[in-house]
Amino acid sequence: MSLFKGFGNGFGAYGKALTLIFSNGLWWYFLFPLLLNIFLIVASWYGISSLSDYAENWVNDLFKFEDDDFFLAEYLQSSSGYVAVAIGWVVWFISKVLLFVLYGLFGGYIIIMLMSPVFAILSEKAEEILTGNKYPFNGDQLMRDVVRGVVIAFRNMFIEFGYMIVILILSFFIPILGGIIGTVILFFIASYFYGFAFIDYTNERRRLTIKQSVKFIRANKGMAIGNGFIFALAMFIPLCGTTIAGFIAIVSVVAATISTHKIVDLSNNPYAKNKTAEPETEVVDESIKAIEEDTKLIDENTEDIDGKPED
């Protein structure tokens, strides 16, 4: 599939994904990114506040002197409160900045890692709706799916970060890469790796190894870019990008399943239990049983005729 055709497949699946989600009662999956946002806000606030309080207490303990004869001891002890508060505010501010930078650079992958169990189940549910494939629940398999999702996210995050460093270094020698062109390149790189992460949930159910999944994604890089495009676009929104991206990720996972099904007929997955195929099997078994019964009756009639004395 060509790059542009694949992009159209990946991007165009978003409309079908929204229809599938709301027409099949999957809308409640949007509650998970809401809960995740609440958790991240509370955890961030508590973590930064605790770190700031720790810094203040450390400064106060630092200015406690046992030797009262020290000529600056009284002055330092009296001013320790102001210094501690100032240090606490500095730590609070620096922590906020670092947290903002962390979410800006790796927020998308943080979402993918933390919501990996939800994405694995949602992708499986979407495939069931599309093909009738059912996968019996297996706790061990779910854990493997989650671990694989986290591994893929880490892999993609470090590779993307490597590209960022390379472009940053090249921008010193090629200034044009430091402006809009460099940003656009990084945007499409991020789209590719985000799409990779969402598509891999389907590839895992096909029992593709990570190496085989990488090969599949590279062969369909346009689809990966198209699938991750909306998610990457949300991540570029200042301040609220990470908050919005969590909800878009729900649609992205379903869209990834739809676009993959268009390339690979997932209904033929030998590792799935196809519910639509079960009635046909029952009909065949009943037909074989009926033939066996008819054959048995014919044999019994034949024995009766052979055993009947001639007139």
Q: Locate 71 and state its tokens.
A: 């000529």
Phi, psi for residue 24 in degrees, rounded to 5: -120, 15
Angstrom distances, CA of residue 102 to CA of 96, 147, 238: 10, 22, 13
Whether the Cβ atoms of residue 199 and residue 223 lie closer than 8 Å to each other: yes
Sorted by where each begins, the domain ranges of the chain are 3-43+104-278
Q: Locate 54 and state its tokens.
A: 């720790």
Quote the mean pLDDT of the chain: 81
Whether the Cβ atoms of residue 119 and residue 245 lie closer than 8 Å to each other: no
List, for residues 269-288, the tens digit of each pLDDT value: 888 876 544 433 333 344 44
Q: Indicate the SS3 state at residue 274.
A: strand
Q: Name residues whose C-beta falls within 8 Å of residue 301's C-beta, 6 or more positions apart in sequence.
A: none
List, for residues 132-181, the tens digit of each pLDDT value: 888 877 778 788 888 898 899 999 999 999 998 988 888 888 777 767 88
* pTM confidence score: 0.79
CA dihedral 95, 99, 100, 101 (to 10 degrees): 100
Q: Which of 95, 22, 91 is nearest to 57 (CA)?
A: 91
Phi, psi for residue 131 in degrees, rounded to 5: -120, -15
- Tell whether the model's pLDDT for residue 85 goes beyond 90: no
